[in-house]
Amino acid sequence: GIFFYDVERSTLRGDSVTLCGAHGFLLAYNSETNTVTGCVSSRNLGNGFRMGEYNNTVTQSMAVSNVTAGIYLDLGNGNSATNNVSTSNGGAGIYLDLHKKATISGNTCNSNSYGIAIQTSSSGNTVSSNTANSNSFGIYIASSSGNTVSSNTTMSNSSRGIWVYAGANNTVTGNTTTSNNYGVHLESNSTGNTVSSNIAKSNLYGIRLETNCDTNRVINNVFNSNTLYGIHVVSSSNNAFSQNE
């Protein structure tokens, strides 16, 4: 593969890595403000692209059929993944772990285990205008707070379109989530989240709040043609629902 160790302000353009025994592209150990553009990473035993540190960008690249994540951002701040295609990877199309203030925008993340996953105290990240279709889970936020998920499309995921698990103070707004089991699912101590101006249709449940999901706001959403319930609340309290249809 290609490994940047303590590298700054450099560009990888149009490179390809296939069948590597580790990660296809790795930027780590004080590697900052680098750009990966127009590259292809496929069928590697690790992640397609893995970036930590600060202000690195992967854009207009492809991550296909890697064993773990297509694009993995960890232990960093201000990295971005924009306008990439990340499909058929064993883990997530795009995976954030212990990451702050990332920009995840304009990506296509289909046919992975998770389309986009944000986990482990990741905060202040923006996930916007992505497509996450035909995964097990479209967009997943776990044990993370203060993230914004907006203007994404999640369709035909076998479980959940957008899933917030033990997440607090996240904003889910302006998304379209169709033909999943759950359009939007807040679960297990997810508190203080705002779910607004989304369209959730043709799911089994439009939105479900389950198990100590308290003090959330669900406002101005459209829940149409869902098989069982548009809004379903289980063992949760002090939530506000208004102007939904």
Q: What is the mean pLDDT of residues 188-214?
A: 98
**Spatial distance between the Cα atoms of 168 and 243, rounded to a whole number of angstroms:** 22
Express each pLDDT in 132-172 by its tens digit.
999 999 999 999 999 999 999 999 999 999 999 999 999 99
pTM for the predicted model, two decimal places: 0.98
Express each pLDDT in 162-196 by its tens digit.
999 999 999 999 999 999 999 999 999 999 999 99
Q: What is the pLDDT of residue 57?
A: 98
* DSSP state, residue 7: -
- Give the 3-state secondary structure percentages of the chain, helix then strand then coil, rounded to 5: 0, 55, 45
CA distances from 158 to 5, 148, 172, 186 (A): 39, 23, 20, 17
What is the β-pairing status of strands 153-155 and 176-178? parallel
Q: What is the pLDDT of residue 62?
A: 98
Q: What is the pLDDT of residue 241?
A: 98
Q: What is the mean pLDDT of residues 72-84?
A: 97
